[in-house]
């Protein structure tokens, strides 16, 4: 909070605070206008471009996680985690039969380096799983169902975030979890879920000719749009809880106006594995 000294005391500098908020909102909008079209293009293109994007995001998430939990975004622990993650992504891409052996070996290697450098082992392993499971889910969804389903998932989450922001800002009301995320309200959750159901449903309806089973039943499509939207908020709260535990405001600063990569994709990290499981269980 910007402050000024007046009569020996400290009071809020309201005049300076409002322009700062407007400038931050403008930066957020400009960043989104650049990132969203690029993300959509890469998702629909798929192939190597999508693989590179997922690999890059995985490495950045691991770096930010270590920055939060260990205060060292770049370290030997990060190097081992990133190397193991990239190896698993490569093996998943080529459908290697040794991927489970590599996965177990990766966990052992991460625990060993954490023990060696006296890092927090539970957070080292959790961070690796937090990054690699959603990344693997993204790649498998794209391989099995194509970029159209990946884009639907992203649209549901973007709609949830946007709807929650405007509903929470204009309606307000009781907080969901004041200690973890003071800005989240129940009205925001409901408003965001409604937006996700409407926009996710419309997208799925117009993409029925893409031969994706999840879009074939309108009731299931709308229900899953709402459920996955709410799940994305649980992912957001989970990341907020980790940041609060380690007294960190943002996971990073790589995205102007938004913070770090984790701050933008925290909801997706919970939803991607769920979409993969549901798509395979219901429509295998």
Q: Are 51 and 85 in the same domain?
A: yes
* In a shared domain, residues 99 and 158: no
Residue 26 has what pLDDT? Answer: 78
Average pLDDT over residues 191-205: 94
pLDDT of residue 156: 95
Lowest mean pLDDT among 138-142, 187-191, 205-209: 205-209
Could you tell me if 103 and 156 lie in one domain? Answer: no
Same domain (yes/no): 218, 270 = yes
Beta bridge partners of 4: 11
Residue that finishes a domain, picked among 84, 118, 145: 145
Residue 125 lies in a domain: yes
The structure's pTM equals: 0.84
Is pLDDT above 80 for 132? yes
Report, as an integer, the average pLDDT of 255-274.
82
Q: Cα dist. 251→71, 190, 270 in Å?
A: 11, 26, 17
- pLDDT tens string 88-117: 999 998 888 889 999 999 999 999 998 888
Handedness of CA 46, 220, 271, 134 (dihedral sign): negative
Do 255 and 154 have their domain in common? yes
Domain boundary among 145, 169, 196: 145
Q: Is it the case that residue 51 has pLDDT exceeding 70?
A: yes
With 90 as the cut, is the pLDDT of residue 69 above it?
A: no
Mean pLDDT of 29-40: 84
> Where among 101, 128, 145 does a domain terminate?
145
Are residues 202 and 131 located together in one domain of the fold? Answer: no
20: confidence class by pLDDT, cuts 50, 70, 90: low
Question: What is residue 199's predicted lDDT score, i.e. its pLDDT?
Answer: 95
Mean pLDDT of 154-175: 89
What pLDDT score does 275 carry?
A: 94
**Whether residue 157 sits in one domain with residue 99:** no
DSSP state of 249: S
pLDDT value at residue 257: 59
* pLDDT, position 74: 79
The confidence band for 7, taking pLDDT boundaries of 50, 70 and 90, is: very low
Whole-number pLDDT of residue 183: 81
**Is the pLDDT higher at 181 or at 83?**
83
Q: Do residues 280 and 156 share a domain?
A: yes
**DSSP helix/strand/coil, 4:** strand
Do 189 and 233 meet the contact criterion of CB atoms below 8 Å apart?
Answer: yes
Identify whether residues 118 and 152 lie together within a single domain: no
pLDDT(3) > 80: no
pLDDT class of 258 with cuts at 50, 70, 90: low
pLDDT of residue 90: 93
Domain ranges, residue 175: 27-45+146-284
Average pLDDT, rounded, for the chain:
85
pLDDT, average across residues 121-127: 90
- 232 against 209, higher pLDDT: 232
Q: Count up the domains in the chain and report the number.
A: 2
pLDDT for 222 equals 94
3-state secondary structure of 173: coil
pLDDT for position 180: 85
Euclidean distance between CA atoms 171 and 193, whole angstroms: 15
In a domain, residue 211? The reply is yes
Percent of the chain with pLDDT over 90: 45
With respect to residue 279, please indicate whether it lies within any of the assigned structural domains.
yes
Alpha carbon of 82 to those of 73, 110, 252: distances in Å?
11, 10, 17
Q: How many residues are given for the chain?
A: 284
The answer, yes or no, to whether residue 8 has pLDDT greater than 90, is no
Does 75 fall in a domain? yes
């Amino acid at each position: 909070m910007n402050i000024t000294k007046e009569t020996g005391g400290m009071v809020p500098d309201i005049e300076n605070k409002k322009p700062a908020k407007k400038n931050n909102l403008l930066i957020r909008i400009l960043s989104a206008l650049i990132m969203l079209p690029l993300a959509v293009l890469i998702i629909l293109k798929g192939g190597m471009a999508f693989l590179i994007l997922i690999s890059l995001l995985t490495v950045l998430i691991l770096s930010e996680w270590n920055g939060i939990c260990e205060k060292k975004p770049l370290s030997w622990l990060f190097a081992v985690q990133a190397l193991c993650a990239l190896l698993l992504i490569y093996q998943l891409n080529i459908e290697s039969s040794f991927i489970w052996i590599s996965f177990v070996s990766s966990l052992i290697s991460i625990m060993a380096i954490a023990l060696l450098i006296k890092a927090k082992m539970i957070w080292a392993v959790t961070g690796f799983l937090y990054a690699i499971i959603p990344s693997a889910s993204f790649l498998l969804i794209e391989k099995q169902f194509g970029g159209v389903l990946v884009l639907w998932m992203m649209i549901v989450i973007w709609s949830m975030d946007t709807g929650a922001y405007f509903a929470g800002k204009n309606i307000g009301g009781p907080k969901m979890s004041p200690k973890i995320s003071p800005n989240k309200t129940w009205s925001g959750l409901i408003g965001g879920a409604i937006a996700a159901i409407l926009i996710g449903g419309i997208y799925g309806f117009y993409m029925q000719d893409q031969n994706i089973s999840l879009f074939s039943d309108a009731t299931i499509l709308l229900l899953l749009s709402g459920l996955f939207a709410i799940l994305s908020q649980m992912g957001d709260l989970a990341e907020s809880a980790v940041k609060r535990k380690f007294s960190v405001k943002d996971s990073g600063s790589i995205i102007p106006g938004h913070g770090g990569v984790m701050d933008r994709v925290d909801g997706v990290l919970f939803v991607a594995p769920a979409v993969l499981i549901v798509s395979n269980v219901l429509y295998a």
